[in-house]
Every structure is written in C-alpha cells, then in structure tokens.
Amino acid sequence: MKVQQLFDLTGQVAWVTGAASGLGFAMAEGLAEAGAHVVLADLNADGIQAAADTLRDAGHSAEAMALDVSDLQAVEAASARILATHGRLDAAFANAGVSAGPGPLTGKGHIDDLDAADWERVLRINLTGATFTVKAAARVMRPRGQGRIVVTASTAGFRGDGMVGYAYVAAKSAVVNIVRQASIDLAPDNVLVNGIAPGPFRTAIGGGRMHQKETQDLFASRLPLKRVGHPHEIKGAAVLLASEASSFMTGSVIHVDGGALAW
C-alpha cells in the first residue's frame, strides 16, 4: 500500500467527542480532510452544530451530536445510533475533557485548595467519560473485527505538572492506563486503542486562559520549543491513529507536546 493510501480515510466514519472547539474540532477537521465522515459530539449543543456546519461549509461530510459523555446510557446509545445510521464506526476519539483549574506553580491550586465538587466533576468527564466512550465504541467495533479508538491523554498523565490542577493530573494519569488496558482487551478483535498526549495548546480549556499571552508565555517557558501549540498541530497524530498507517500500533500514547516530556 502506498503512503497516500495509508492515510486515506475515504468512506470511513469517525466519532469525536468534545469536538465543538479546540483540539477536538481540529481532530475532526483533520479526519474530514482525510476523507472521513465525521460525527462531532459535545455537551454544547449550539457549539457542536456550528462546528459541524463549519466543516460542511468547507465541503466535508459531517454531522452534529449533542452528548454528555458522563452518561453511559447516552454514550452507548450514541455509538449504536452511528452504527445503525451509517453501518459502521471506524474510529472513535474519546477527547471530551475539562480543566481542573490552575496548579500550585501558578500560586493557586494547592492541595489544601482542593474542592470535592470540582474533583468529582473533572474525574466524571475526563476519566469516566473517556472510559464510557471507549466502552461504547468497543461494543460496536468488536463484532466487526476492526476499529480504532483514540483517547486524549496529556503530558500531565506522565508526570507531576504544577501548572494544572490535581484532578486533571489524576484523571489523565488514569486515562493512560485505560489505553493500555483496553489495547490488551481489544487486540484479539483487531480493535486498536491508542492515545494522544498533548502538551499546552492554545484552546478554550480552562475558561480561555490559554489564549492569554501571559499564560502562554508561562507554559512556553517550560518547553524546549518555547511556544505553545496551535490546534492544527494535532491533526497529523489524529489521522495517523485513525488510519492504516497505524496498523501495527496499539497501547501507544503519542506525545504532541513541544518537547515537554523530553526533559
């Protein structure tokens, strides 16, 4: 198979959660540009409709889905609906996530500041929601004997990160091992499970603080590349893990982090 064919997603159906903006939208856009029909899902009903409209206006095949990833029944119904409508689900991206607020290196976010309600909310979305999405995708992919599942982890899942909150670090650390565990579970059925671990990107997470120059500069000072990422820089990893180019990859987590984990 030639390289161009390896990355071609024509005729495939991909599902991306947390796709109304930021990295999720960039992933969906990359998959659509590679030829996939993309189902964009998000809790923000108006935002996800606008995101799908943007892709359709650009000539791509896309649809919107309002979805709360922390509701297992809703997530399983969503994957079943995609299968019933399109007859297939080739790639599922468990990307939906929220910030846990600033970490201790910002002067806030110390362990004694930890709020129980915030802790539960972040884990419910970032860990439980991701796991529910993996489960729902596996249910429709396993019988077909093929599929790709991609989970958004974080560099904060591999080490302590004083720039982000405790619940975020805890959830993303767990997500890394969900990827590994599910890859072992689903490998006999040719369902490949991998992850993407972004470093700091210019997105709306955390109330938009990553769009503030002082926040960007603070994160950039801790990176070898000395800048934060732009969402379009996640597209390549997304297309790789959805395509035949990753046919011998499972249980891997790709770092797209400006070198954050290199030192």
User: Which residues are part of the catalytic machinery?
Assistant: 168
Tell me the C-alpha distance between 215 and 207, whole Å: 12
Query: 75-113: buried (b, 16+ CB within 10 Å) or exposed (e) per residue?
Result: bbebbeebbeeeebbbbbbbbbbbbbbbbbebeebeeee
Helix locations, 7-115, DSSP H? 22-33, 45-57, 72-86
Q: How far apart are CA 79 and CA 13, in angstroms?
A: 11
Q: Contact, 99 vs 168, CB < 8 A?
A: yes
Three-state SS at 204? coil
Give rounded-to-5 percent helix, strand, coil for the chain: 50, 15, 35
Q: Assign 178 to helix, strand or coil.
A: helix
Q: Give the C-alpha separation, 19 to 38, whole Å.
A: 10
Is residue 38 within 8 A of residue 28, CB to CB? The reply is yes
| Residues paired with 256 in a beta bridge | 198
| 16 in Cβ contact with 24 (< 8 Å) | yes
Query: Alpha carbon of 129 to those of 115, 225, 247: distances in Å?
Result: 20, 32, 26
